[in-house]
Structure 1
Amino acid sequence: MSSHGIETTFAERVRAAVERLTLAERRVARYFADHREEVLVASAAELARKAETSDATVVRTAKALGYEGLDALRRELAEELRRDLSPAGRVARTLQSVGGDPDAAFAATLDLHAESIASLRRSVTAPQFRAAVEHVVQAGRVAVFGLGPSSAMAEYLAVQLGRFGLDTLALTESGLLLADRLLRLRPGDLLVVMAYGRIYPELRAVFDRADALGVPRILMTDTLGAEIGGRADLVLDIPRGRADTVSLHTATLAFIEALLVGVAARRPEQTLEALRELNRLRAEVAGPDLAL
């Protein structure tokens, strides 16, 4: 938003001002436009060095673009980046808030974790949690889908449920490799889907395959409930922290851990027997000292 109340993007400001900028100022403006996230966290001296100019030219360019100074440019650029939820943008805004202070980074991150847990308490109800546990306990096999950072958590959930004696399948491949995994889905499975941010081809393919097989599904998401929640039997709103800062997976992991405890509590004898067998096999493979 410009000082006159007219919505103007940063790129539009640069285009409108380019003709009246000096050559050095144009170079700085281009650097600003190409490295928006860095502008939020770098000092005027650092920006000057990277744009091969002086501190004064960096500040002068910000004013030539219609800002009161570099700080005002940063504030409006941060606001614009809040509408561009790229990972780099979120990390840059997080770094801007903590500066270069490790203590501030530690405290701010713990605050975000605490907020995520508090949000999870509000967003997932006790009946929803019980329904999720029952879905898992009643399933012939649990297939867990997740890509990117979620793939590690999908693998973790599948491994832990396997240790509890449940049959599992991790669906963590992307592209053509996912088709081989989807071929292994079968009626009687439960599909647990972790999906955040946007609907991508693999996510559509997973739901389409589940539709074809009549497989029930649980959707864990923060933003996709309205778009694709109608295709799931149970939608769990799992927050990933503030939308304008670095994405945290605290709530997702916390829910997974709670689900594991809930499943174990629901079938304690089978769980303990499976874990005792796991311990026996570990001792057989690695020796009694490595049995856990």
Structure 2
Amino acid sequence: MNARGKGRVDLFGDRFRARAHQLSPRLQAVVNYINDNREVVLERTAMQIAAATGTSDATVVRAIQALGFAGLRELKQTMERWFGPTVTSSEKMLSTVSALSSDVSSSIDFVLEGHQRACDILARPQNRAAVAQAVALLADARQVAIFGIGASGILAEYTARLFSRIGLPSCVLNRTGFSLAEQLINLQRGDVLVMMGQKSPHREGLTTLREAKRLGIPTILLTQAPDSRFSQLSQVVVEVPRGGDNGRVPLHGTVLICLEMIVLSVASTRPQQTMKSMKRINELHRAIGKSGGR
């Protein structure tokens, strides 16, 4: 559990510390789980919390009410106020440029140092092992599906093109709402999911992971939050620092470095398919050029 803003009232924490020891073991199991997994609980139903704690949904409701809340909805509203509002992109940019001096060199150093830190972490043995696991899964994939929303959605589209070039069919999962559902319907057994996700367990990511699990599709997660809910649901986790600490702008280029590492590694493990695909692309390109010149 992370510390929050100074002066922000932790109503759930206060009630938990005052009343939890008075509850029965089953009710204690529920409130202890909620206290240890606050961000996860925001996205869960009473039945899901019950499954995680080995209790019933009725027990979950009784535990919440024993702490003085009307129900799960009020508990979530209380926790959302404690977590506070999400920092917007404009606020992150303002925080970043305000921290940099007016000369160009400080901005250059900010980006270069961020990428250097990321590369140092990507080069660690545990990350090399994770990338090797990812490549082994992708080498045998029917199709690779690449999930990313927001700015990561642009990276997903670019990476899908790279995979297609080396002869590995790919699709993109980069929308929200009903449009994401239309993309998810294309997933099939034999696919592999590459997911870009961070700490926040948003519904798009959780829905995608649940669908992957239903179909038996392994997930490769690229994240700077290896202890997140997304990480718990993924088979391979590659730690990719993006910065963004203290409300600063995150660096998406660090994720792109990792994606290109993976694509090139897959290509090197299947050189015949890669060269065959690239040769055919060049043939088609020449044909397009000829017809376009007439």
- 2:150 aligns with one of 148, 151, 155: 148
Instruction: Tell whether the 8 Å contact from 1:225 to 1:237 is kept in structure 2 after alignment.
Output: no
Task: Give the whole-Å Cα distance in 1 for the aligned partners of 2:239 and 2:268.
Answer: 23
Aligned length: 211
Residue pair 1:195, 1:224 contacting (<8 A) in 2 also? no
Aligned residue number for residue 237 of structure 2: 235
CA 1:104–1:205 in 2, change beyond 3 Å: closer, same or farther? same
Distance 1:289 1:116, change over 3 A: farther
Q: 103, 106, 130: which one pairs with 1:101? A: 103
Cα distance change of structure 1 residues 163 and 209 upon mapping to structure 2, 3 Å threshold: same
Distance across 2 between alignment mates of 1:87 and 1:133? 33
**1:263 partner letter:** V
Instruction: Kindly report the root-mean-square deviation, in angstroms, between the aligned alpha carbons of the 2 structures.
Output: 2.3
Q: How does 1:40-79 map to 2 (within 5 A)?
A: none
Question: Given residue 277 of structure 2, which amino acid in structure 1 is its aligned partner?
Answer: A
SS at match of 1:128: helix
Distance 1:165 1:84, change over 3 A: closer
Deviations 1:99-158 (A, max 9, x none): 322232223222222222223223853221111111110111111111001101111111
**Contact 1:123-1:237 within 8 A present in 2 as well:** no
Cα distance per residue 1:45-104 (max 9 Å; x no partner): xxxxxxxxxxxxxxxxxxxxxxxxxxxxxxxxxxxxxx9754334322321222322232
In structure 2, the partner of 1:192 is 194
More displaced stretch, 203-212 vs 219-228: 219-228
In structure 1, C-alpha distance between the alignment counterparts of 2:213 and 2:86, rounded to whole Å:
33
Give the match for residue 254 of structure 1: 257
Q: Which residue of structure 2 aligns with residue 264 of structure 1? A: 267
Task: Please give the residue correspondences for 1:101-180 in structure 2 after superposition, counting only pairs within 5 Å.
Answer: 101-122=103-124, 124-180=126-182
Q: TM-score with structure 2 length normalisation?
A: 0.66
User: Over residues 235-272 of structure 1, what are the superposed CA-to-partner deviations in whole Å (9 max), with x where a residue is unaligned?
Assistant: 11111025122100122111111111111110111101
The Cα of 1:184 is off from its aligned counterpart by: 1.0
State how far apart, in whole Å, the 2-side matches of 1:252 and 1:124 are: 17
TM-score by length of 1: 0.67
The one-letter amino acid paired with 2:261 is A
Residue ranges of structure 2 left out of the alignment (5+ in a row): 1-5, 9-84
Cα distance in structure 2, aligned partners of 1:259 and 1:288: 35
C-alpha distance in 2 between matches for 1:115 and 1:157: 23
> 2 CA distance for matches of 1:103 and 1:90?
20
Q: Is the 8 A contact 1:123 1:238 kept in 2?
A: no
The one-letter amino acid of 1:162's match is S
Q: In 1, distance between residues paired with 2:176 and 2:230?
A: 19
CA distance in 1, matches of 2:292, 2:126: 41
CA gap of 1:123–1:157, structure 2 versus 1, over 3 A, is farther
Amino acid at match of 1:206: T
TM-aligned CA distance change 1:130 to 1:289, over 3 Å? farther
1:275 aligned to 2:270? Answer: no
Asked if the contact 2:145–2:173 (Cα under 8 Å) also holds between the matched residues in 1, the reply is yes
Larger radius of gyration: 1
Q: Which residue of 2 aligns with 1:218?
A: 220
Distance 1:195 1:168 in 2: 19
Cα distance in 1, alignment partners of residues 110 and 245 from structure 2: 15
Structure-2 separation of matches of 1:149 and 1:175: 17
Where does residue 23 of structure 2 map in the other structure?
A: none
- Which stretch has the larger CA shift, 198-207 or 239-248? 239-248
Counterpart of 1:207 in structure 2: which amino acid? L
Q: Which amino acid aligns with 1:250?
A: G
